[in-house]
Structure 1
Amino acid sequence: MIGVLNVTPDSFSDGGRYVRRSDAVQHGIEMREQGADLVDIGGESTRPGAERVDADTEVSRVLPVIRELAAAGVPLSIDTTRASVAAAAIEAGAAVVNDVSGGLADPAMAKVVADAGCPWILMHWRGHSRQMQDLATYHDVVAEVRAELAQRVDQALAAGVRPDRLVIDPGLGFAKKAEHNWQLTQRLGELLTLGYPVLFAASRKSYLGALLAGPDGSPRPADQREAATIATSVLAVAAGAWGVRVHDVRGTVDALKVWAASGAPRLAGS
């Protein structure tokens, strides 16, 4: 279970809520107490259309929070596409790199991860936030995402990253339309055949808001998508996902406890 902690002013769901260091640290500790195995700290919004910030801004946002949470014993991952930010975050106490570009945005990332020996989450990605939705063109989204993730894995291994350090993520919402997200959900087992743990990250995303649109057709607001997020998380774990990345840790932990206690088997093919 990975808890989301964005220390940005413009992330799609919690932007601006945790800009103050004290608020971010308190929330990170709360998520750990609620059952998060990792707290994922991001200093740059990757929502569709977001403009990039420079590396110095990203570092200035995340490092003070990482240092305080690490000192408090909270296990941390850094959500970044930049090798320099990842290196600084690891030095400050982060234990995992969550790279939404799968190593494509910064060729130096592989060396940072290989040298650190830390886990690396490789997400499927086709371009930065400003233009990524223009790249959501697929013949068979699951087959193509699987093949592109396999390439990212091969490049990581060639750079010296150990295979047991890799996690893959289909990148829901990143160069994906709603129908692509649903197909990846339905056929998650095909990604598992790559032989690597799979992270599923649907939390509060726009395709859930569209699914829950009101009578006037307006999407459900991001902070009112928790039940749908929890449902996707249970479905993903039942299908064999290694983990889920969520904003609402407590609700998701509760739902997964119910699923585990029920004795329900994992889905066929997972």
Structure 2
Amino acid sequence: MDWKTFQALLSGVNKYSTAFGRIWLSVVFVFRVMVYVVAAERVWGDEQKDFDCNTKQPGCANVCYDHFFPISHIRLWALQLIFVTCPSFMVVMHVAYREERERKYRAKFGENGKLYVNTGKKHGGLWWTYLISLFAKTGIEVSFLYILHRVYDSFYLPRLVKCDVSPCPNLVDCYVGHPTEKKIFTYFMVGASALCIVLNICEIIYLISKCIVRFAKKMKRRSRHIPVHHDDYNDDPFNNCSHSASRMELKERPPSFKTANKSMLRPPTLRLEEKIRASAPNLSIP
């Protein structure tokens, strides 16, 4: 497998990734791809030849090896690396689609026409594509860890396995080659995979929280620009204290129903007394 070509393809993803995404890409290449290429392939090699059984029965060693190691660790990790990095190409393809649309738009409306502010900025559909790729990578990592744990019944690699599968004549002892070294590399690759899962979850939380903060700022900005309309009349019970009517307005207003009703209900003697007091204020009425 040409890992250099694979690295060149993924290097374009680094331009559109967040800080967590760049750390994830570094972990994948340094702690997984390089360890896989430099050390893990040589440690495993043709591991079936190092699988020794204490019998000369033809086919017994092959059947026992297939029973205890149905999928080779090294091939499972290679498949995992390919599947994990594939969702990142979704982002690259979406950016390429945006750039093509931008090129066609400029060809139609001139060089000053612009469809996107920045084709690589994570807004709109590209934000959703990036978020879906993160969920896909996390799901693939968890799935492969589950497969590894399920197939090998934990991540522990034993030194000795006992096999009684046909065509073995009886219970046969089989010995795994380089068990300690293989166990160390297994734990290391599982730990690197778990670290990638944590980084993906952190990036998902970062993207969603950043989107929520941006949305909250946008709503706050909108609420500031909405004008508040006040009524111009002062008989509003909520704005009664904020408006003061002038004397001329009060004189020009017609009497209300309550004041008119009170004046009609007054007895005529009281009205006469009021007129006498208004004409002669010093005169006392017995």
TM-score by length of 2: 0.22
What is the TM-score normalised by the length of structure 1?
Answer: 0.23
Structure number with higher relative contact order (C-alpha < 8 Å, ≥ 6 residues apart): 2
Structure with more of its chain in strand, by fraction: 1
